[in-house]
Amino acid sequence: MLTKMLRPGSLRERIILFFTLLLLGVSAAVFLVVLPQISGIFRDHTFQELAGAERVLRRVIAQNQIRLAESASLLAADFAFRTAVTSDDQPTLRSALENHSARLGADVAMLLDLEGAVRADTLPSEAARQPHPLPSLIQKAQQEGVATSLAIMNGRAYQLAVVPVLAPDPIGWVAVGIELNDKFARELRTLLDVHVSFMLRAARHDFVGIASTQANTPLLDLTDAVRRSAHANNGIPAATLTIKDFDSRLSSIDSVDSESVLFVLQRTEASASEIFQPLISTLGLIAAGGLGLCLIGGALMVSFVTGPLDRLAAVARRIREGDFEARSETPGDDEFGEFAATFDHMLETIAGREKEILRLAYEDPLTGLPNRVSLQRELDNRAGAGTSFVLMLLDLQRFRLINSTLGYEAGDELLNIVATRFRSLVKATDFVSRTGSNVFAVICAMKDGDQVKMVADRLQDALSHRIFVGVQEVDVTAAVGAVQFPEQGSTGAVLLRRAEIALYHAKHANGGFCLYEPALDATRRDSLHLLGDLRRAEEKGELLLMYQPKVDLRRGKVTSVEALIRWRHPVRGMVPPGEFLPFAEQTGAIRRITRWVIGEAIAQIGRWEQDGLKLQVSINISARDLADDALVAYFASALLGSTRGASALCVEITESAMMEDSSVAFYSIERLRQLGIAVSIDDYGTGYSSLSYIKNLKASELKIDRAFVNDLDSSEEDKAIVRSTIELGHNLGLRVVAEGVETPAQLGKLCELGCDYAQGYLLSRPLTAEALINWVRDFDFSAVRSIKPTAVAPDGRVLAN
């Protein structure tokens, strides 16, 4: 019975039994010995917890910076966003910044030009006009590729990340930020279980609160206490303070311009000592009964009470040093055991969150592959080791079409399939990562440069095997850009940038592969200079249209021409269309050029009509133009002042342009037809479109590509292709035009096969609008079939041969 009484279950019962047996025992000893020690331990423990909370807060801020940098990189790499940056499309830029901020939960997003001026942002108009402290961040981003820091804007503190917008060289800067506001403080309160406040230094000894989880009155008390502490310590507040009922820990975070933000972590003293209030009350009542016995009981209570606390304090010290694996190892069902179990559970939760944050920072959540941050770290590690390797970037072609046609779920499934195939092909020591929406990276240890193409071929061949997304088979290929270490770059950042340059050229190379060489940098820089000049070419009047006649082979007359753009560059001279139009299509500048061509062609139709010449003008339309929702509206607007109307226009569209996004292309073409504009299928026979596309397109003209006309008089195969194309066009009610006619023999064959129109150097080279008037007046079709290619004077007159 006595044994059962001496082994009670709770701490309260043990204390009551102990003091009962010791005749009003240990209260004096507890007050003199135990309570000061307990108070000191728990006070130290409180500040240790606050110190631990500070470390976690700093990790959260660091992880936010990584997340902001990664998110800003994703936005800067987005093709549609870069297109909007290139075209300075303000509504699209602001919409993209707002949408990206909403998805990330960011409070501000900005686009700056290369000089640091704000081109678009999500700030209110009155805030957007204020100066932004970003030059230092931009300078840091120029040196390191990405910059993250704290910045003070308009009296508010932000975590900002700045990354370049690459095309692939910088064309601007994207900044994304999270404000240190009340919402952010409340989120930290939930995570850290302490009150969080942020302050800005208004003067040397003055601070202003900008965010807090405290109510107004405690926040005012806190602000006054910080000011007093700063005044007493030469402008620097103490690291720890006790303010009213709160134990407080103060620290600061430096911003990009050396301004500091002070954050204060607080916990009430009552929360630390609450568990001991019953003990204190009990001891107070017992103290009057027996001070003598308390001296004896106090010695026993010290070892009984402080033992578990010492163990918890030791664990707290290990946590303060960053060891989250430490555990209290305090068994039992009493209050100490319960407290120790709760403490251990808190540690496991914090450690788990930190591990998950690190995983999300370095891993692609969709495929489980390392992400771009991991790739950069791997490149730096391997470059530091000095061992030869090759970096390959693989861009999945037609991925956008699969996404838009089958849905994003199908695109995600395809990415997982591709990731699995790539992983299965490389060695365990190699590295595979996903760096963008449809871009993968592979690092292979390699000493022999001749093996690079072989490895690239193996990766490309992995996609040639049948791929099913659900029940739908899809066809996907990959363009590969490669760079070797150390021959072609000594750092991870340089290697990655040069691999992206090689990838850009691989997309337009035969076989879809390109190994970096220094000449590509010069080519890329030259293209960027050309793009800058192209933006100003329209304003300076450097663009002009030439017109190549289409001759009616039955009547021998000219009723239509094709408009062909030329660029008279003030330094380079006449720039061929093949040097600037493909680049304009990739950057989105083609839309502005197409609109200029439309306006100029319609105006020229009117001028010809005044000279008594009625001609239909054909204008070439690209896939990017067909995807422009405003294209048809621009045609309609440009035709408002025309006397000839839409029937004087014809749009020429290649098969590849229709195939890139067929649903969008067909919709745009149908709207053009409804407007009254004729439609011509250009370069027929070189693309991959089916006859159903030709039938559903409801075009009025079919153009045979020059590749089938070149050997028409000597190749039976080409002759059969041209004959069947003419018959197909006539059976579908289309007029058929042959391009690239250069010899009388070719012209004779086309007449024999029943072709409707011909176009080529035999008839005329492209002419200026003025020269074309003279050419039409002097043209004699009856003489063309028996002579050499027509010689044309600069003024358009047909010269005798």
pLDDT tens figures, 7-17: 444 444 555 55
pLDDT above 90 for 234: no
Residues 649 and 572 placed together within one structural domain of the fold: yes
Q: What is the pLDDT of residue 132?
A: 61
Task: Give the torsion through C-alpha atoms of 297, 300, 301, 305, to 10 deg.
Answer: -170
Q: Rounded to whole angstroms, how far apart are CA atoms 306 and 313? A: 10
Residue 339 lies in a domain: no
Domain that holds residue 140: 60-183
Owner of token pair 């870069």: 82
- Count of the separate structural domains present in the chain: 3
Residue 217 lies in a domain: no
Residues 511 and 556 placed together within one structural domain of the fold: no
Among candidate residues 556, 559, 649, the one with its CA nearest the CA of residue 599: 649
Residues 694 and 757 placed together within one structural domain of the fold: yes
Q: What is the pLDDT of residue 473?
A: 83
Out of 37-41, 117-121, 582-586, which region has the weakest mean confidence (pLDDT)? Answer: 37-41
In CATH, what number is assigned to the domain containing residue 658? 3.20.20.450
pLDDT in tens, 383-434: 989 889 999 999 998 787 788 778 889 899 999 999 999 999 888 889 999 9
Q: What is the pLDDT of residue 7?
A: 45
Q: What is the pLDDT of residue 39?
A: 66
Residues 622 and 685 placed together within one structural domain of the fold: yes
Confidence of residue 658 (pLDDT cuts 50, 70, 90): low
Residues 497 and 573 placed together within one structural domain of the fold: no
Instruction: Find how far residue 3's CA is from the centre of its chain.
Output: 71
pTM reported for the whole predicted model? 0.48
pLDDT above 80 for 61: yes
User: For a pLDDT cut of 90, what percent of the chain falls above it?
Assistant: 25
Structure tokens at 413: 């499934």
Q: What is the pLDDT of residue 144?
A: 83
- Name which residue leads in pLDDT, 659 or 115: 115
Which of 133, 166, 183 lies at the terminal end of a domain, its last residue? 183
CA distances from 569 to 348, 537, 765 (A): 68, 8, 21
Residue 99 lies in a domain: yes
Out of 170-179, 346-355, 707-716, which region has the weakest mean confidence (pLDDT)? Answer: 346-355
Q: What is the pLDDT of residue 757?
A: 96
Residues 568 and 697 placed together within one structural domain of the fold: yes
Residue 68 lies in a domain: yes
In CATH, what number is assigned to the domain containing residue 471? 3.30.70.270
Which of 137, 163, 183 lies at the terminal end of a domain, its last residue? 183
Sign of CA dihedral 432, 433, 436, 437: positive
Q: What is the pLDDT of residue 10?
A: 45
Cβ burial 472-485 (10 Å sphere, 16+ → b, else e):
eebebebbbbbbbb
Choose the most confident range, by mean pLDDT, from 1-10, 180-189, 236-245, 748-757: 748-757
Contact, 450 vs 354, CB < 8 A?
no
Once rounded to an integer, what is the mean pLDDT over residues 194-201? 86
Helix (H, G, I), strand (E, B) or coil at 115: coil
pLDDT in tens, 455-490: 999 999 999 888 898 888 888 889 999 999 998 888
Once rounded to an integer, what is the mean pLDDT over residues 29-42? 64
Structure tokens at 304: 């009984």
Q: Rounded to whole angstroms, how far apart are CA atoms 54 and 253? A: 11
Contact, 211 vs 181, CB < 8 A?
yes
Residue 771 lies in a domain: yes
Residue 619 lies in a domain: yes
Residue 431 lies in a domain: yes
User: For a pLDDT cut of 70, what percent of the chain falls above it?
Assistant: 77
Q: What is the pLDDT of residue 790?
A: 46
Q: What is the pLDDT of residue 726?
A: 94
Residues 720 and 672 placed together within one structural domain of the fold: yes
Once rounded to an integer, what is the mean pLDDT over residues 51-79? 85
Residues 468 and 560 placed together within one structural domain of the fold: no
Residues 585 and 485 placed together within one structural domain of the fold: no
Once rounded to an integer, what is the mean pLDDT over residues 259-270? 79
How many CA atoms does the CB half-sphere of 649 hold within 13 Å? 28
Residues 117 and 178 placed together within one structural domain of the fold: yes
Choose the most confident range, by mean pLDDT, from 20-24, 50-54, 446-450: 50-54
pLDDT in tens, 620-644: 998 788 888 889 999 999 999 788 8
Residues 503 and 598 placed together within one structural domain of the fold: no
Q: What is the pLDDT of residue 26?
A: 53
Once rounded to an integer, what is the mean pLDDT over residues 104-109? 85
pLDDT above 80 for 530: no
Residues 506 and 650 placed together within one structural domain of the fold: no
Owner of token pair 């900005």: 110
pLDDT in tens, 278-337: 656 665 666 555 555 555 555 556 556 666 666 677 777 777 776 666 666 666 666 667
pLDDT above 80 for 346: no
Q: Rounded to whole angstroms, how far apart are CA atoms 753 and 746? A: 11
Confidence of residue 355 (pLDDT cuts 50, 70, 90): confident
Contact, 226 vs 201, CB < 8 A?
no
The residues, any chain, with a CB within 8 Å of residue 427's CB and separated by 6 or more, are 444, 445
Sign of CA dihedral 704, 707, 708, 710: positive
Residue 307 lies in a domain: no
Among candidate residues 82, 77, 172, 72, the one with its CA nearest the CA of residue 586: 82
Confidence of residue 504 (pLDDT cuts 50, 70, 90): confident
Q: What is the pLDDT of residue 6?
A: 42
pLDDT above 80 for 435: yes
Which of 501, 516, 531 lies at the terminal end of a domain, its last residue? 516
pLDDT in tens, 676-704: 999 998 877 665 455 666 777 788 999 99
Out of 220-224, 395-399, 714-718, which region has the weakest mean confidence (pLDDT)? Answer: 220-224
